[in-house]
Structure 1
Amino acid sequence: MVAMKSRISLLILALVLVFTLTACGPKSSGNIVEGKVNVVTTFYPIYEFTREIGGDDINAINLLPVGVEPHDWTPRSQDIVNTSKAQLFLYNGAGLEGWVPNFLKGLDSSSKVEAVEVSKGVDLIMTDEDDGHDHGGSGEENHHEDDADHNSHSSGDSLHTDPHTWVSPKSAIIMARNINESLQSVDPEHKDGYEERYNKLAERLQALDSKFEQELTKLPNHKIVVSHQAFAYLARDYKLEQHAIMGLSPDAEPRGQDLVNLAKMVKEEKIQYIFFEELVSDKLAKTLAAEAGVSTMVLNPVEGLTTEQEKNGDNYFTLMEKNLQNLIMALQ
C-alpha cells in the first residue's frame, strides 16, 4: 500500500511538473491594444511584412516565439483569446500551419476577425515528400472553397504542398501584396498609408529578387545540398537544384541509403558545402559533410529569428542577403 501511494505521489508530481513547464513555455509577442487595428500573424516573415506595411496604424502580434521552429509548434489558449479580439489573422497556408482549421473553429463565436491565407496566388510546388505533420492540410480547404486550384494540395494522397513559399523573393512579393490588400480591407481609413508603405516594401523585394537573379545565374554551379527541404521555391525561381537530407519537416528522419547516395553525389559533383540552418540541429548536415569530406555553411529558411539575430536587428532582408552571399561562395 505504501509503495502504491508512493507511485501515485510521483505520478502527480510528474504531471504537475509537465503542466508547469507547459505554462512557462515561450509566449507569443504582444497583446491586444484597444483602439488599434490588431493583426495576429502566425510566424516571422508574415509578421515582418505586416509591421512594415502596417506601420503605426496597427498593433501586430506574432504567435511564434523567437527561437522556435514553426513546423511542430501549436498555439496556446491565450493565442486563441487574442485572435478572437483581433481584426485580422494572417497565416501562410499551403499546409504550413496544420493547426489553423481547428484554431479558427475554437475562436469566440462573437469574433469578427478576418482570416487570410497569405500565400494565396503563389504558384505552389507539389512534392511526394510527406513529413508526417499534416503539411498537406486536410482541413484548410474548408476556408477557401472558392479556390480549388490553390488547394489542390489536399486533393491527393500521394502529393503534398511544399509550404516554404516566402523563401523566394518572387513569392514574398505576392505575399506582401496580399497583406497590403488585407489591411486595406479591414481598415480602409488608413488605405493611403498602407499603400505607400507597401510600395516601398515591394520595391525592396523586387530589388532583392533582381539581385538573386543577377548573381546566381552567372555562377558555374547550381546544385545545393541542404539539411531541410525548404528551398524548392528559391531553387525553382533562380535555377538551382536542391538536394535535401530531410524532407519538408526539419525533424523528418532520412533513410541510411539516402545519406549514402547523397554523400556519393556530393563527391562526384565536387560540391564543397552542405547547408544547415540555425533553428534545428546541424547533426545530420555535419555527419554528411564529414562523410563526403566537405564543409558546412548556413542557408537560412527565414522561418524565424534566433535570440541573437533579434538582438542584432536582423530581418528578412539581412538574412536573405546572407543567404545570397553564402550561395555565391558555395557555388563558385
Structure 2
Amino acid sequence: MNKITLFLLFLGLSLGFQSCNSKQNKVDNKLISVSILPQKYFIERIAGKDFRVNVLIPPGASPASYEPTPKQMKDMSKSSLYLRIGHIPFEKAWLNKLLEGNDHIKSVDMSEGIELIKGTEVRHGDHFHEGGIDPHIWSSPKTAKQLIANTFKVLVQLAPEKEQEYTGNYMKLMSDINVMDKGAEAIFSQMPEKAFMIYHPALSYIARDYGLTQISIEHDGKAPSPAHMKKMLHQAKAHNIKTIFLQKQFNIENAQVIAKEIDAELIQIDPLSEDWLTEMNRIMTYLKK
C-alpha cells in the first residue's frame, strides 16, 4: 500500500470519525432539559409530545443531593433549552457544570414573576437555599400558575406555528388548577384551625397562599433532637393536628413517633410527582380535612 493510499485511508477515517462525533453532539431542538418531574407534566399538558423532556432529577431523588448521571449530562449537552426552577440546591450546585461547554443551551429561570418566600437563611439538610429563598414554587396552585405561564411563553417561542393549539391546552390546564385553587380558598377561609405538620417544609407556598400554618418536624434541616421532638408534640396537641405529611424522599421514623403519640394519621406525599395535578389535588384534600 503506497503513501498516497495510506493518506487517503487515514483522511477517510478521520472525516468519518468527525462526522460521527458531529452527529453525536448535534443539538436537538426538540429536546428540552428540566430539573424536576412536574415540569415535564406542564410541558406535556401544553405541547403534548411535540418535545422530548430530559428530567435531571428522577423519581424518588432529592433536589438537595442528587448528582446527574453521564447519560443525563450527555442528553443535556444535546438540549437547546434548560428550564430551571430557579433556586433549588441541585441547580446551584450543577448549573455551571451542566452549561459548561454548551454555549448553545439557553437557560431560562421559571421562577420569574413569582413572589418568592425569603428569609435570612433557609437551611435544609446539608445545604442552604440560595439567598434564603424557599424553592418549592411548584408546590402551590397559585405559584404554579405563574411557573406554567412562563413555560407556556417559552414553548410558543419555540413553536410559534403551534400557538393556537398550545393556547387551548394552556387554558385547559389553568382551568383545572383554578378549580382546585378556588375550591381551596372557599374551604380554608371557613376553617377555624389552619395548621398542619410536615416533616420537611415543602408546602410553605401553600401555607402562605391560603393562610395556613406549616409546622416543620425537621429542625435546621436536620432530624429533630429530643428537645425539638418534645416541642413538636406540644405544638401538635395545641393545634389539634390529626394529619402529618411526609415526603417520599425523607425518613419516616421521627414522623411515626409523633403520629403515634398524638394519634394522627401519617400521610406520604410526593410534590415532585410527575402526575402533578393528581398529587396536588390529593394534598389539598388532606389539608382540608
TM (norm. structure 1) is 0.72
2:98 counterpart residue number: 104
2:3 counterpart residue number: none
Taking only the aligned residue pairs, the percentage that are identical comes to 24
CA contact (8 A) 2:99 2:105 kept: no
Q: Distance in 1 between matches of 2:247 and 2:218?
A: 12
RMSD between aligned residues: 2.5
1:126 matched to 2:118? The reply is yes
Q: Distance in 2 between matches of 1:85 and 1:207?
A: 38
TM (norm. structure 2) is 0.82
Secondary structure class of the residue paired with 2:224: coil
Secondary structure class of the residue paired with 2:197: strand
CA contact (8 A) 2:255 2:266 kept: no
Q: Give the Å deviation of 1:64.
A: 2.1
CA contact (8 A) 2:122 2:129 kept: no
Secondary structure class of the residue paired with 2:163: helix
- Consecutive unaligned residues in structure 2, runs of 5 or more: 1-24
Q: Distance in 2 between matches of 1:303 and 1:192?
A: 29
Q: Give the Å deviation of 1:240.
A: 0.4
CA contact (8 A) 1:226 1:274 kept: yes
- Consecutive unaligned residues in structure 1, runs of 5 or more: 1-31, 138-152, 154-159, 306-314
Q: Give the Å deviation of 1:234.
A: 0.2
Q: Which deviations, in whole Å up to 9, do the C-alpha atoms of 1:306-325 show, x marking residues without a partner?
A: xxxxxxxxx21211121122
Q: Give the Å deviation of 1:191.
A: 2.8
Structure 1 residues 192 and 135 mapped into 2: Cα distance closer, same or farther (>3 Å)? farther
Q: Distance in 2 between matches of 1:211 and 1:65?
A: 31
CA contact (8 A) 1:119 1:175 kept: yes
Q: Distance in 1 between matches of 2:143 and 2:190?
A: 22
Q: Distance in 2 between matches of 1:303 and 1:56?
A: 21
Q: Which amino acid aligns with 1:322?
A: R
TM alignment of 1:1-332, pairs within 5 A: 37-97=30-90, 98-106=92-100, 108-109=101-102, 111-127=103-119, 128-137=121-130, 153=131, 160-246=132-218, 252-291=222-261, 293-298=262-267, 300-304=269-273, 315-329=275-289
CA contact (8 A) 1:125 1:161 kept: yes
Q: Distance in 1 between matches of 2:180 and 2:172?
A: 13
Q: Distance in 2 between matches of 1:90 and 1:130?
A: 24
Structure 1 residues 246 and 177 mapped into 2: Cα distance closer, same or farther (>3 Å)? same
CA contact (8 A) 2:184 2:288 kept: no
CA contact (8 A) 1:286 1:296 kept: no
Q: Which deviations, in whole Å up to 9, do the C-alpha atoms of 1:203-234 show, x marking residues without a partner?
A: 21222211111122222210111111111100
Q: Distance in 2 between matches of 1:280 and 1:192?
A: 42
Secondary structure class of the residue paired with 1:60: strand
